[in-house]
Structures are given as structure tokens and as C-alpha cells.
Chain A
Amino acid sequence: MAQVASDPSANPLRAGLRAGGATVPAVFVIFGATGDLAHRKLLPAIYNLGVRGLLPNRFAVVGYARSEMSDDDYREQARASLERFSRTPIDENYWTAFADSLHYVSGGFDDTDHFRALGDRLDRIDKGHGTEGNRVFYLSTPASFFPVIVNNMGEAGLNNPPGFARVVIEKPFGHDLQTARDLAETVHRSFEERQIYRIDHYLGKETVQNIFVFRFANAIFEPVWTNRYVDHIQITVAESLGVEHRAAFYEETGVVRDIVQNHLLQVLALVAMEPPAAFEADAVRDEKTKVLRATRPLSFENTVRGQYGRGFVAGEEVVAYAEEQDVPPDSNTPTFIAAKLEIDNWRWAGTPFYIRTGKRLPKRVTEIAVQFRRVPHLPFSMGAAEHLEANSLVLRIQPDEGISLRFGAKAPSPTVAISTVNMDFLYGSAFMHDVPEAYETLILDAIRGDRTLFTPQDGVERSWELCDPLLEQWRSGTPQVYESGSWGPDLAAELITRDGRRWRRP
């Protein structure tokens, strides 16, 4: 018989309490508990939520993986991970309570009996910790295991516990539109869409969420956030690193699947979306999906692809992509893309979005530059205003998160001479709070049942619809090699200069 669940919202003592924390008891189950992600990110995130008092008081963590291990062994491993990767040192007083909440179940991903055993163990943990049959399942495994895990969860009834069941899935959500649909169909056999939390850790970053606040909490920006005043927008996601140890993965992925289909289109949606009625899951996700629906797919004519060659980055000589370990010398995998995107709606028609992202660029930087139109008439002599640039507003997401506004000011002189000046606001100079890791934000949201920062299936499918035609066209031809430490191939500059514009130098 299903037990009656806690309902904190009906508790009169809760008024004014825990605005940010989770209150409903739950067990957090990690599939792939011995993997890198679990140790580097998930356990530290859960620990830091707990030590800040943000987890429910009745809470437990269950690690699930193939390795044979006792609860105590798992606690020792968890402790070692926290010592290495937690952003705060271990608090010995809290550790004792946290360790008590950690459990481990050994089992394979392809054996339904193991999942049934997990279910039995979860029932016993419910009794011990008072977690009322509420489950959050985190699939911290390679994507190839997702189908078999969710199938077995369904077979073993883990999708239908006494309380709620939520499943958190890490990107990639498919390899293209068809595989994304296939994956969704598989997951939907065991879970309803409202139970699925597709995590893109990028959206958990404080700085990305700040785009919302900047746009929708300040009256001065939104009125000019339109094609009437904005000439164009540039979004840059630059990495100085090469492919590192991810060559095998990257060969399968390339820059579009790695960055554009998820992170970059999500940032574009945040910048271009209409104001949601509320900062709530459905309202925000609907507006993001709407603007992606109005966006034209990436086209061969409006894109440039590149692959990094040899060069110097920050004074260090680096090898070409084709010379990296595990990369075939004749690889055609693109490591850079520059593209012009157009959005067919009232707000943005005629105002293009230029995006560029790549590896081995001069520095690591993510920024959104809103380039405004010039004034319709300058009542100054040409000489006075010859150095005057158009206004721009730059939202820097990383590093040195902040906002810069570029405008003209009178230079001290007996005559009228106008200079362009930058006014910088550095986020870190106003707030030096302990910034939570993206995984802390997203795990807490999953426990609380807040899907605002997670990607819905229609958003995933629309992102693939925008990228698939280009990926198909890119199956032939070769990327242009660019020198490591440059801002990409020469053709990338031409892509924007042909429109009478130029890339910013971040």
C-alpha cells in the first residue's frame, strides 16, 4: 500500500523557512557510483549541500555500480573524494552524520534481478532514514548505458516507488535528432516526461543564470533589447585547451555536438527569449523552446568550420589536432565553428546572431556582446567623432564575470573630441560569496522537483533540428586548418565582414 507522503507546504511551521533548501525526504541513487563524475562532482556537491543545511533532514545516498564493496568501503572512497574535490574542507562533526547516510549496492546494469535487489535495499533504507519512498536516480554513466538502465528500472518497478521517482540524465541527449528521439522513447517507456531531468551543467552556473536576472530584473535593458536598437549579437565560447584526453570522444562528437547543440544554443535562447511570466519550469522552458523554434537551422552557407593546427597558446607551443594522441592524422573532425544565425520573430528579425566556438583559441572566454546600432545622426564634426564606436554591452560569463558598457565621452579638450570608454562592472568585486558549484544547484533542484534549469525533450529535439542539416552537409569536405592561438580560420572573419561587421576581440 502506498504510504501517505509528507507535504511540507501544508505545515504551518514552514512559513518563512528554508527559501533555498529541500524539505521533502528522499534517497539519491547514483548509477555509476565509482565513476569519475560521481567522485569529482556528485559526492562533493551533495556533501556541500548537506553541510550548508540545504538537504532534507531525512535523506540518504545510495551508490550503485558493478564493483563489489561494502557500505564502509564506499564511505571511505567518498571521504577520499571529498578530501580531493570538495570546495570546502570536511567538517568532522557533519561528516559523521553524512557518512551514516551513505550506502552502496553492487550490481550490473544489464541484470533486472540486481535492480530488484536495489529496490529491496531502497525499501529498507526508507525504513531506516524515513525517506518515504521518494527517489532521485542519477545516471552517472556513459550514455550508451542509459537505455539498459532505464529499461531495467522499469522492469524492476523502480520507476514506481511509494513516493516520487525522478531520473536525472547527463548529456549527450542523443547523437542527432533520430537518436535523441530514440533515447526519449526508451526513457518514456519507464518514466513520464515530468519525471525526467536532463542536466546540462552549464545552465547551473551562477553566471549563466545571471543572464535571466540581468535581462528581467532591470528595467533599463529590456526596452532596447530588440532589433530596433541592436545591430547584432556575438556569442563567443572560446577554449584555450585542445582536445586533451578526450580524443576518442571528440572524434565522435566534434564542435557542434560538443558545444553548439547544447551550451551555445541554450545561451542563445537565454539571450533572445521573451520574458517568461514567472521564473518557473514550464514558463521558462516554453519561452526558450519558442525562440529556438523561431531560429533558422545552421546552414552550410552561413557557417565556417575549422580544425586547429600547430601554434602557440599563451606562450606554449602546441601540436595540431591531427597530431593529438588517438586522433587519426586524416581526421575531418571540426574543432571550431563560426556561424550566423537568424531568428524570425518580431524582436529579432534582421538582427543576426554571430556565434563562434572552438578549441585552442587565444584564451578561455565566454561572452555575449550586444552591439547596438549607431545614432541616426551625429551633431558633431567628423573629426570630433572619428574614433567613436557604436555602443556595446558585453555580458562576460567566464572568466571575470561581469558587464561592460561601451559608450562615448567627451575627451578633455578645448574643442569637442569624443572618445570611446568602457565602464566595467566585475561581478566578483560586488559579491565574494562562496559560489556554489553548478552541480550543487542542479542536484538541489532535482531533489526539490524544480525543472526550470533542465532541458525538456522538445528543446532537445529543436536543438538537433537546428544542427542536423549542417552535420549532414559537413559529412563531406574538410575543415579549414587554423593556427592554434588564433581566433579561428580566415574564413570566419570573412563570414562577418561580408555583412560590414567585425568580430570583437574578447
Chain B
Amino acid sequence: MIANPPVELTDLTQVEHALASSREGGHGTVRATTLNLVVYAPTPEDVGYTQRALERIGGSRPLRAIIAGAGHGGVRASVSTSCWLGGGMQQVCSEQILLTARADALPSAVLSLLVTDLPTFVWWQGPIPPGLGILADLAAHATTTIVDSTVSSLEGVATVGSLDASVTDMAWLRLEPWREAIASLFDPPLAAAALATLHTVAVQGPVNEARLLAGWLRSRLERQVALKHEERVHVERVAAHCAEHEFSIERRERVQVGRAFGLGQTEHPVVLPLLDASTLLGRALDVHTGDAVFEAALTASVEQAA
């Protein structure tokens, strides 16, 4: 990675010029930018976490990241570019703007810095605030809001879902290999027949991910499915109980391969990758439209709790 040193600015109208100067001298170059990413990072730890995730995404998605935090006094921006060498010595470059402004001025400052007419993602890392607050203001300019119901709440995520932007839940993306493995267990004809009798799902894992899985099953099968939950840091085991049969998937230790077993099939390996923040963020940035299956699962999860 080639990182150009940051330039400190207090006038946002100078940001574009500073970024252009940073790109190969800024004259006559054609840049490729595919999206805006707005991150609300209120603490230095949040900023560091974001920057590490962006660095690991590398050059896979050339983007403009606006890492915004509320502060006192006037607006301040620190702009920089980072480039990665691709095949044929081509550079993939991303721009980063570290922005500080008063909370009430922050949304307008962000708006002025978005690259025109590109998809805009708002990545909200922490718990979702009651009443949404600044999250709602930032999401108003976004096509997609990225949240994580594992560190927030499913009810909070449902509230974000009421905004205009579509919602991507990192927890939902984290569960995708598990959902794939569960679905795969019910492909064989004998198992497909048993699916009609699925009544309980037992999940060892974070509670909100367990609730989402149960909500997913309820919404897809259009009937009640009870949840038995044991708290774990990561999802480690899922068992679906259908009449007298159990279909199970288990990840032994913290490796990316588990075993699956169910009616009509022998025990077989399944790929269950442990996805880190940058991988999840990368996947979230590939989702440009609402996910009806997720929305139904979320609704079913929240309704069941209520």
C-alpha cells in the first residue's frame, strides 16, 4: 500500500483540490471511485478500528471514506489517499476524509463531501441510539445503512429499517454460511419432507444471531419455530428439530470447517468461515438493494420477542 500523507484543512471547499493534488499530482488523471462510505466514529478507538478495516479491504473497492465525528469548534478535515498496486502496476486508490464538526453541522458537512451520484453507504458501528438521532440524519443521504445487530439490538435495527435507506446487518452476513449449511441439509428429498415438521431450533451463539436464525426459519416456513439458546461468543452449533429427527451443524473449535448431519445424508464437511470486520464490510458494500429475506427474518425475530 502507498499512503500519501494527510493534509489538514479547515475549509471544506479545499478538500477536492487537496485530494486531486494527492492523486499523481492532480492533473489530467482519471480516477475510479465506486462508492461513498460514511462512518460515524465518535472516539479515537472507533476511528482506529475503521481505518484498520478499510486498510484490510485494500484496493478491492476504490471508495471515498468519510469518517465523521462530532467535536467542538469549527469544521476540520484531514484528507489523504491510499493506493494499492494491482495487476500490470495499476493503482487502485481510495480517499479518506477524517471529518470533525459540531454534531448539528456534521450531516451537512458530510453531504458536501459526497462524490456525486455514487452509491452511499453509512456504516454505523455501535449501538443504535434511541430515536436514531444523528444516524437518521446521515442515513437520509444514504442508499444503504450498515449496522450490526450483534452489538446493537434487533429492535434498533428494525427502527433503522423504517428509514428510506435499505439496511444491511453485519450479523445477517455473518450467518450466511450457517444459513447455507442449514438450507443444504434440507435439499435431499427425505429431509425436504421433514422440513414440514421443523418445530424447534437450538442455537449456541450470540443471542441476537440466534434470534435472527429462528426468525429466518419462521419467515421462510411461515409458521412458529421455537428457539432454544445457549450464549456463546460466536455461533458454534445449530440443531433443527423436526418431529423425531435432528439436523445439526457444528463448528468444532475456531476453524472454518464444520460437520453437518441430517436425515437422508451422511455426515459431511461444511465451510463455515469466521468472517472478520473487513470481510463483512466488503460484503456489505456489495449489497446495493434491500434484502427481502432479511427484512422478513428481522420482522419475525422482533415479533416473536414482542
Which chain B residues (190-239) contact chain A, with CB distance < 8 Å?
192, 195, 216-217, 220-221
Mark the stretch among B12-20, B107-115, B253-261 that contacts chain A: B253-261
Flag if B266 contacts A129 (CB, 8 Å). yes
Judged by a CB distance under 8 angstroms, whether B8 is at the interface is no
Mark the stretch among A285-293, A429-437, A448-456, A462-470 that contacts chain B: A429-437
Contact of B32 among A53, A100, A127, A430 (CB under 8 A): A430
Flag if B88 contacts A428 (CB, 8 Å). yes
Report the nearest B residue to A127, measured CB to CB: B266
Flag if A100 contacts B90 (CB, 8 Å). no
Closest A-B pairs by Cβ, 5 of them? A97-B269, A430-B32, A432-B59, A16-B293, A13-B183
Judged by a CB distance under 8 angstroms, whether A310 is at the interface is no
Flag if A130 contacts B268 (CB, 8 Å). yes
Judged by a CB distance under 8 angstroms, whether A76 is at the interface is no
Judged by a CB distance under 8 angstroms, whether A227 is at the interface is no
Query: What residues of chain A lie closer than 8 Å to B92, measured between beta carbons?
Result: 428-432
Judged by a CB distance under 8 angstroms, whether A4 is at the interface is yes
Query: What residues of chain A lie closer than 8 Å to B260, measured between beta carbons?
Result: 57
Query: What residues of chain A lie closer than 8 Å to B62, measured between beta carbons?
Result: 429-430
Interface string of B69-88 (1 = CB under 8 A from A): 00000000000000010111
A12 to B86, CA, bound (A): 41
Report the nearest B residue to A4, measured CB to CB: B189
Judged by a CB distance under 8 angstroms, whether B126 is at the interface is no
Flag if A432 contacts B86 (CB, 8 Å). yes
Judged by a CB distance under 8 angstroms, whether B186 is at the interface is yes
Report the nearest A residue to B217, measured CB to CB: A13
A506 to B181, CA, bound (A): 49
Query: What residues of chain A lie closer than 8 Å to B292, measured between beta carbons?
Result: 16
Query: What residues of chain A lie closer than 8 Å to B192, measured between beta carbons?
Result: 6-7, 10-11
Nearest CB of A to B304, in Å:
18
Interface string of A65-105 (1 = CB under 8 A from B): 00000000000000000000000000101101100110000
Nearest CB of A to B31, in Å:
8
Report the nearest A residue to B181, measured CB to CB: A57
Mark the stretch among A38-46, A139-147, A418-426 that contacts chain B: A418-426
Query: What residues of chain A lie closer than 8 Å to B220, measured between beta carbons?
Result: 12-13, 15
25 pairs across A/B with beta carbons < 8 Å?
Answer: A6-B189, A10-B192, A11-B186, A12-B220, A13-B217, A14-B187, A16-B291, A16-B292, A16-B293, A56-B184, A57-B268, A58-B184, A93-B255, A93-B256, A93-B257, A94-B256, A128-B266, A129-B268, A130-B266, A425-B30, A426-B32, A426-B88, A428-B86, A428-B87, A428-B92
Which secondary structure characterizes the binding site on chain B?
mixed
Judged by a CB distance under 8 angstroms, whether A400 is at the interface is yes
A67 to B180, CA, bound (A): 38
Known: A58-B268, A130-B264. 14 other contacts (CB 8 A): A13-B217, A14-B187, A21-B180, A53-B273, A57-B181, A57-B184, A57-B260, A57-B269, A97-B257, A400-B87, A428-B86, A428-B88, A429-B91, A430-B34
Chain B residues at the A interface, C-beta cutoff of 8 Å: 30-32, 34, 58-62, 84, 86-88, 90-93, 176-177, 179-184, 186-189, 192, 195, 216-217, 220-221, 255-257, 260, 264-266, 268-271, 273, 291-294
The bracket for how many chain A residues form the interface is 35 or more
A101 to B182, CA, bound (A): 20
Flag if B91 contacts A14 (CB, 8 Å). no
Query: What residues of chain B lie closer than 8 Å to A8, measured between beta carbons?
Result: 183-184, 187
Flag if A91 contacts B256 (CB, 8 Å). yes
Query: What residues of chain B lie closer than 8 Å to A17, measured between beta carbons?
Result: 176, 179-180, 183
Interface string of A368-399 (1 = CB under 8 A from B): 00000000000000000000000000000001
Judged by a CB distance under 8 angstroms, whether A51 is at the interface is yes
A12 to B84, CA, bound (A): 42
Report the nearest A residue to B177, measured CB to CB: A53
Interface string of A20-31 (1 = CB under 8 A from B): 010111000000
Flag if A130 contacts B265 (CB, 8 Å). yes
Query: What residues of chain A lie closer than 8 Å to B184, measured between beta carbons?
Result: 8, 23, 56-58
Contact of A431 among B60, B182, B188, B189 (CB under 8 A): B60
Query: What residues of chain A lie closer than 8 Å to B88, measured between beta carbons?
Result: 399-400, 426, 428
Judged by a CB distance under 8 angstroms, whether A445 is at the interface is no
Judged by a CB distance under 8 angstroms, whether A367 is at the interface is no
Judged by a CB distance under 8 angstroms, whether A350 is at the interface is no
A261 to B130, CA, bound (A): 66
